[in-house]
């Protein structure tokens, strides 16, 4: 398999659409790449997909974990997806191992931590979810640990 074909396979294996439709398969793919020490950070941090509001995969995962707060809209990324927060935490752990960057911003200029903060302060968005507190807390703790580690 040539390099172009390998990259195309990785784009499919770690795509936002696979994350939204088959999160367990996405996780298996990511674990496989991590175990083989294959650098997939570019795929995890890709913010070039318009249907996800130009969000990297960690933020896409945030859009999918928990129960959708307002299901009156039908056609947007993650509208038909519910990922339980335990699975979401497992996926996020693997994304972090793969080099997830929580500082990458979406189309609206928000990073994942800003989205969490805004929602915890009562801001409602199209992707606002409930039943994801442990997942949000995991992201915040992971970010704090990362900042302490990189500042040392």
pLDDT digits (tens, 9 = 90+) for 72-113: 667 888 888 999 999 999 999 999 999 999 999 999 999 999
- The answer to pTM > 0.85 is yes
- Predicted confidence at residue 71, as pLDDT, reads 62
Instruction: Return the closest-CA partner of residue 100 out of 30, 18, 11, 4.
Output: 30
Q: Contact 142/92 with Cβ under 8 angstroms?
A: yes
User: For 2-53, how does the pLDDT look when each residue is reduced to its tens digit (9 = 90+)?
Assistant: 778 878 888 899 999 999 999 999 999 999 999 999 999 999 999 988 888 8
The CB-based long-range contact list for 117-124 (8 Å cut-off, 24+ gap) reads 124/69, 124/70
In the chain, where do the E strands start and end? 67-68, 129-130
Question: Residue 150: its pLDDT value, please?
Answer: 47
| Residue-range domain boundaries for the chain | 3-143
What's residue 10's pLDDT? 87
Here the tokens at position 31 are 């674990």
pLDDT, position 4: 83
Q: Of 27, 37, 33, 29, which Cα lies nearest the Cα of 61?
A: 27
- Residue 145, exposed/middle/buried by CB under 10 A (0-12, 13-18, 19+)? exposed
């Amino acid at each position: 398999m040539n390099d172009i074909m390998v990259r195309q396979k990785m784009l499919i294996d770690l795509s936002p659409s696979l994350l939204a439709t088959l999160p367990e398969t996405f996780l298996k793919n990511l674990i496989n790449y991590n175990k083989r020490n294959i650098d997939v950070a570019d795929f995890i941090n890709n913010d070039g997909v318009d249907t996800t509001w130009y969000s990297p995969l960690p933020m896409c995962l945030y859009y999918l974990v928990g129960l959708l707060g307002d299901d009156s809209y039908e056609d947007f990324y993650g509208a038909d997806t519910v990922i339980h927060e335990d699975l979401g935490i497992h996926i996020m752990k693997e994304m972090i191992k793969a080099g997830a960057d929580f500082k990458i911003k979406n189309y609206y200029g928000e990073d994942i931590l800003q989205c969490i903060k805004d929602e915890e302060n009562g801001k409602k968005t199209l992707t606002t979810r409930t039943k994801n507190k442990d997942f949000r807390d995991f992201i915040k703790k992971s970010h704090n640990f990362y900042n302490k580690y990189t500042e040392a």
